[in-house]
Chain A
């Protein structure tokens, strides 16, 4: 007697093909397939169409003290300069030379965008110094009236306000009133939009700065100098002892990229397993409700139907994931070929080493088969979508728990929880993948794979029995209990 069930490949292919085409011909498949392109196109359109989704808010300042408006304006300019520095910092991505990149970043932080642009012009010829100008969420304008009571109609949009020939609405009013000390004014913010707090946030920053300035400068210290020194303070250098034998022992992108890649791959694996298993459930339920299985069983083995479904939905899931996979592969290959940051290139190459590719394929197959077989069995026991939801809830909780442990791979790849999860077949595919960049012992991976394989075989055998029972019975959640008592507990009804 053969250990593995017999299958006729032609019949298995025909069942897989029908399942595949059955889904491919639906609108839902094409919407899912085209979703990344639709989102990409939408994003491109939004970026190029220059549509302002968050129109600028116009805020005015009534400064009864006569000393704070100019300070607030200066703070506003600094805010724009910070935004410009953030935009300019993206240039570092294109500077291949590590030393030049570090110097560029230092100049940007300590001396501003003009100094950083000058550095690029001088040291990185060919790299543009242009960057998108920062756009503030709000803008200060001159007050249309000098008393709050006269500004209220503008805030309520009861009175028109024209700015550069354009009708606008007054979004807020900042009021400074004299306080106990010049550095402690009473500040108020009036607006009908209570959720938009960009302007009051800036005022708060200004008031905090004012408190520091008033304290430090009475002691004869310069706040500007303090800020400059903080910006140009040295940073801690990270080293990894595993790299002790290497020329450069410092931690850089080549060390961190594999962990990010593994986390992304584990999430993709989870998504593939989840969507594949769920499609198997609905496919099985459709067969059950269509009452076709019994007719097929006169000419087809149970094992062929299960295998055909697993293969058909696997092909379908891969088709649905294809746009993401292709974009991912093109992105990685493109960066490895043309990417400016060699540390990232090195990290990508090491992330996709042979071990990762081999174990990714193994865990993808085993994870899909394990959850797929469970969902097929549960689908065959269900007689309605409600039944299916009730029966699959415990497995969905397990899958959710598996998704929750994946991020641990970034911060604590060798945490006890991840190590234990590697040996639990339900979580092994995801836990093992996120641990791979931290070089777990090979025996752990092999043992984990062995446990998973054994459970897969057991699950398929069990799923076969449940499938056989479920298909030929009226089924429904209530019969699961009866079946369990009779077949597993061997109790008489």
Chain B
């Protein structure tokens, strides 16, 4: 089966400033891929090149094995980062219009629009004009509009941005529903938690370069492993020294450790039992993609991006 998307050494500069540098990856059918990175990491530019909206300066892009463009019309659903609707259209008209542009007949397009709005809990918006909808509702209508034609490949650029937590959860459910139909999805976000919950593969971008491509578990394995310990007995700090890269002591006496490569939290537990040191707190901290990202791109790069392009969520 042809890969929906394949990028090979793709680069793009704007006004001499590199936006994307030598990025390569392949999206396999049926995958849900999180395309992660802070603002300005090159995610949107990469996705636009994937669709053929802008041409790369160098490298090669294949969409369904072909040059991006007409051959993929109807097979791709694209939700851009900057979104909107025709103010005077109703929700069903907006969805039906996009469906018709993708080749669906008029009557079927309106039936489909009604079904989708009902399915995604937006039935009340059917005959509401877009200008009369709340921002959150309008954003939720845009996803059905982008995917009404049931494309094989969904490219969603920052689908969660601007939504409150409740609507983010609704949108997550929508993405899961699409994935349940064996559709391929790549979505960009700078909020790592969405990717952690939804993706079976992540691609991390920083400063226009790909810094990681693999499973979520593999990414998390790159993150520093932490454990918090406490004991009412003396000697805990000495006991943990050999397992830790760094040890922070909290005001209450609790110790926060970052484990050395190869060291395991349960090694500390075994050692304390052997030495008769009773622990009053033993909390291995689950690593996050955020920590993995910091590790992968390096602290200097992260601080630089925080300063120039806003905080990394």
Please list the residues of chain A having a beta carbon within 8 angstroms of any beta carbon in chain B. Answer: 6, 10-11, 14-15, 18, 22, 25-26, 286, 289-292, 294-301, 472, 482, 486, 492-493
> Given the known A-B contacts A11-B101, A18-B97, A289-B84, are A472 and B54 also in contact in the complex, defined by CB atoms under 8 Å?
yes
Partner of A299 from the list B15, B16, B73, B87 (CB cut-off 8 Å) is: B73
Partner of B15 from the list A6, A25, A291, A493 (CB cut-off 8 Å) is: A493
Instruction: Judge whether A298 and B88 touch: CB under 8 Å.
Output: no
8 inter-chain pairs at a CB distance below 8 angstroms, sorted by A residue, are: A289-B84, A290-B86, A291-B83, A294-B53, A294-B82, A298-B155, A301-B70, A493-B15
Instruction: Judge whether B51 and A297 touch: CB under 8 Å.
Output: yes
Instruction: Judge whether B100 and A14 touch: CB under 8 Å.
Output: yes
CA distance in complex: A295, B74 (Å) = 12
The minimal Cβ–Cβ distance linking B89 to chain A, given in whole angstroms, is 8
Instruction: Judge whether B88 and A295 touch: CB under 8 Å.
Output: no
Partner of B53 from the list A18, A25, A472 (CB cut-off 8 Å) is: A472
Q: Please give me the residue from chain A that is nearest to B77 by CB atom.
A: A298
The minimal Cβ–Cβ distance linking A246 to chain B, given in whole angstroms, is 59
Partner of B80 from the list A25, A26, A291 (CB cut-off 8 Å) is: A291
The minimal Cβ–Cβ distance linking A1 to chain B, given in whole angstroms, is 14
> Given the known A-B contacts A290-B85, A472-B53, A492-B16, are A295 and B80 also in contact in the complex, defined by CB atoms under 8 Å?
yes
Which residues in A have their C-beta under 8 angstroms from that of B74? 299
Q: Please give me the residue from chain B that is nearest to A469 by CB atom.
A: B54
Give how many A-B residue pairs fall within 8 Å (CB-CB): 73
The minimal Cβ–Cβ distance linking A450 to chain B, given in whole angstroms, is 32
Instruction: Judge whether B97 and A295 touch: CB under 8 Å.
Output: no
Instruction: Judge whether B80 and A482 touch: CB under 8 Å.
Output: no
Please list the residues of chain B having a beta carbon within 8 angstroms of any beta carbon in chain A. Answer: 15-17, 48, 51, 53-54, 70, 73-74, 76-80, 82-89, 97-98, 100-103, 142, 145-146, 149, 155
Instruction: Judge whether A14 and B101 touch: CB under 8 Å.
Output: yes
The minimal Cβ–Cβ distance linking B137 to chain A, given in whole angstroms, is 16
Q: Please give me the residue from chain B that is nearest to A11 by CB atom.
A: B101
Partner of A295 from the list B48, B54, B89, B98 (CB cut-off 8 Å) is: B98
The minimal Cβ–Cβ distance linking A419 to chain B, given in whole angstroms, is 45
Instruction: Judge whether B83 and A493 touch: CB under 8 Å.
Output: no
The minimal Cβ–Cβ distance linking A305 to chain B, given in whole angstroms, is 10
Which residues in A have their C-beta under 8 angstroms from that of B80? 291, 294-295
Instruction: Judge whether A298 and B84 touch: CB under 8 Å.
Output: no
The minimal Cβ–Cβ distance linking B288 to chain A, given in whole angstroms, is 31
Which residues in A have their C-beta under 8 angstroms from that of B101? 11, 14-15, 296, 299-300
Top 10 nearest A-B pairs (CB, nearest first) are: A493-B15, A298-B78, A290-B84, A291-B84, A294-B80, A291-B82, A299-B73, A492-B16, A493-B16, A299-B101
CA distance in complex: A345, B286 (Å) = 93
Q: A22-B86, A292-B83, A492-B16 are in contact. List 12 more A-B contacts (CB 8 A).
A: A14-B100, A18-B97, A286-B86, A290-B86, A294-B53, A294-B80, A298-B77, A298-B155, A299-B74, A299-B102, A472-B48, A472-B54
Which residues in B have their C-beta under 8 angstroms from that of A22? 86, 88-89
Q: Please give me the residue from chain A that is nearest to B97 by CB atom.
A: A18
Partner of B87 from the list A15, A290, A295, A492 (CB cut-off 8 Å) is: A290
CA distance in complex: A295, B85 (Å) = 10
> Given the known A-B contacts A22-B86, A472-B48, are A295 and B79 also in contact in the complex, defined by CB atoms under 8 Å?
yes
Which residues in B have their C-beta under 8 angstroms from that of A301? 70
Instruction: Judge whether B86 and A18 touch: CB under 8 Å.
Output: yes
Instruction: Judge whether B85 and A292 touch: CB under 8 Å.
Output: yes
User: B17, B74, B89: which has the most chain A beta carbons within 10 Å?
Assistant: B89
CA distance in complex: A254, B160 (Å) = 71
Which residues in B have their C-beta under 8 angstroms from that of A486? 15
Which residues in B have their C-beta under 8 angstroms from that of A482? 15
Which residues in B have their C-beta under 8 angstroms from that of A493? 15-17
CA distance in complex: A369, B39 (Å) = 40
Which residues in B have their C-beta under 8 angstroms from that of A296? 98, 101
Instruction: Judge whether B100 and A295 touch: CB under 8 Å.
Output: no
Which residues in B have their C-beta under 8 angstroms from that of A294? 53, 78, 80, 82
User: A11, A299, A472: which has the most chain B beta carbons within 10 Å?
Assistant: A299
The minimal Cβ–Cβ distance linking B4 to chain A, given in whole angstroms, is 13
Which residues in B have their C-beta under 8 angstroms from that of A14? 97, 100-101
CA distance in complex: A445, B74 (Å) = 46
> Given the known A-B contacts A294-B80, A295-B145, A295-B146, are A25 and B88 also in contact in the complex, defined by CB atoms under 8 Å?
yes
Which residues in B have their C-beta under 8 angstroms from that of A286? 86
The minimal Cβ–Cβ distance linking A467 to chain B, given in whole angstroms, is 12
Which residues in A have their C-beta under 8 angstroms from that of B51? 297-298
Which residues in A have their C-beta under 8 angstroms from that of B70? 6, 301
